[in-house]
Amino acid sequence: MEVNLDNWYKPKIDKRKLRELSKRSDLKGLSHFFLYFLFLFVFGYLAYITWGTLWSIIFFFIYGTIYSFSVSNWHETVHKTAFKRRWLNEIFYHISSFMCDFEGFRWRWSHTFHHTYTLQTQDDYDHEIQISRPTELFYFFLNYIPFSDLLFPHKLIKYEVLKHSLGIFTPVVKTSAPKNQKNKIIWNSRLYVFIWLCIFLFSFYIESILPIIYIILPTYYGKPIWFAVNVTQHLAAAIDKKDHRLSTYSLKLNPILSFLYWKMEYHLEHHMFPMVPSYNLKKLHYEIKTQLPKQFNGLYDFYYKILPSVIKLATNPEGYFKVNLQSNNK
């Protein structure tokens, strides 16, 4: 993934150290995916054997939460930093892409735009701005409620995939994807739709909704915790600034969320050096932390400080969160 950050602020770091931190590992990548799918299987199995009881609802919520964090697996593989071997990145990239409905060819190019034009809203537009400006507070808070996405079918990522399968391109494809990728987007979208249709038909055939609950619906009922973590990347940040310190945040997370998020709590460091694998971001953080704004001390600290800006942005375009560049990490 080619990202041009020539005009952006960059902290100083020894080039040899950066090369060392940029080394990729098949073992670390495979270890992460093994544990991820093990946890997914365990809680999926517990949900199955307790089907029809209250325990099943609890286990399915945990299963859906883990499933929703497949976005983190997609993210690491779209950067081709999960594994040393490219073919391993590609295999797990397309598996993760299907799990989170991020059709592989469309999202590879839009994510390149996201890194090149982070929170830019002018001619070169960042299509991955999660929360629109001005903030639509009603829709924003709905994201923390399971199944709320289904209230607005036209906003679903699955709906976008369906349109692409019919050759109807959305603005993100028109502006970010090269012409030679558009047929791939169409045919890969058709593959997604075909698999979804097969799952529905199989559920109908066996007279059970379970295949749909396991594969089609997890990102809807398991979204709240994933969204609460993932939206911390750029929420209420300054737009149209070529300085990641002003548009991207880092925070501390507990070990469980850090694993599921695959260390993307060091998101500021990731945007500054997107070639560094997630499993090396903590080391990168300690190399450059004195040149960065202070980390948020967990989710509570983040929301306590950021939510007032989210609310202000509903009516005031200047209500974004003001980063204190003088307050750095010691």
Asked whether the bond before 255 is cis by omega within 30 degrees of 0, the reply is: no
Residue 103 contacts residue 189 (beta carbons within 8 Å): yes
Average pLDDT over residues 169-197: 94
pLDDT at 327: 64
Q: What is the pLDDT of residues 301-320, one digit of tens each?
A: 999 999 999 999 999 999 99
Give the mean pLDDT of 115-134.
83
What pLDDT band is residue 256 in, cutting at 50, 70 and 90? very high
Average pLDDT over residues 245-251: 95
The whole-number pLDDT of residue 277 equals: 97
Above pLDDT 90, what percent of the chain? 86
| pLDDT, average across residues 239-248 | 92
Dihedral (CA of 94, 100, 103, 109) sign: negative
Q: What is the C-alpha to C-alpha distance for residues 10 and 7, in angstroms, rounded to an integer?
A: 9
Residues 12-48: tens digit of each pLDDT: 999 999 999 999 999 999 999 999 999 999 999 999 9
Q: So what's the pLDDT on residue 127?
A: 81
The pLDDT value recorded for residue 45 is 98
Q: What is the pLDDT of residue 249?
A: 96
Q: Is 291 exposed, middle or buried (0-12, 13-18, 19+ CB in 10 A)?
A: middle
CA distance 23 to 13: 16
Q: How confident is the model at residue 124 (pLDDT cuts 50, 70, 90)?
A: low
d(CA 289, CA 283): 10
Instruction: Provide the pLDDT for residue 242.
Output: 87
Note the pTM of the prediction, 2 decimals: 0.94
* Nearest-5° Cα angle at 303, 266 to 40: 60
Q: For the chain, what is the mean pLDDT?
A: 94
Q: State the amino acid at position 23 in one-letter form.
A: K
- Residue 279: its pLDDT value, please? 96
Quick: pLDDT tens for 125-169.
788 888 888 999 999 999 999 999 999 999 999 999 999 999 999
Euclidean distance between the first and final Cα of the chain, in Å? 33
Place of tokens 């994201």: 143
Query: Given the structure tokens 């060819």, which residue do they identify?
Result: 105
Identify the pLDDT of residue 198: 98
Name the residue with tokens 């989710």: 299
Cα separations (Å) of 272 from 235, 247, 299?
17, 11, 22
pLDDT surpasses 70 at 3: no
